[in-house]
Copies of this chain bind each other. A is one copy, B any other.
């Protein structure tokens, strides 16, 4: 654990770990996009994170205890990054931030559909989603239904709807 920084305020301590432009982007992609490898996080990033920044953030998130890393049996160099309970506990923070963003910022419809569903579902849905993340990242028992599938399906639908009206090819 790092020495105390600026103050013992929960908001301040949270900002000292997550208060930058990329940490939460990486966690978001792991959480909602189920990206678990370095290359997945690097190449499929909508925002185009640079490789050195990604490496640095993964290192910091590991040190902070938000994610863990284990070797991939299929490839000696490959690592699989997983959310820890501490990382999974950020679901309500993401839900609150995403809801705020979709209400006040110029979001695109297909990118905000998941935020909308999470906002409408409320804490009950967040809790189900967190159970699912524990299954995917912590080897907990598989939950009955998949919130991630629900979110991903809604996102895909929104993307298709967009393409139907714009008639403009784009990678999914």
Chain A residues in the interface with B (C-beta under 8 A): 1, 4, 6-17, 19-21, 24-25, 28, 46-48, 65, 86, 89-90, 92-108, 110-112, 115
Contacts and interface: CB of A to CB of B under 8 A. Distances in A.
Contact of A107 (B10, B15, B94, B95): B10
Contacts of A111: 7-10
A117 to B, nearest CB: 12
Contacts of A24: 11, 15, 19
A60 to B, nearest CB: 13
B93 A89 contact: no
A1 B106 contact: yes
Contacts of A65: 104
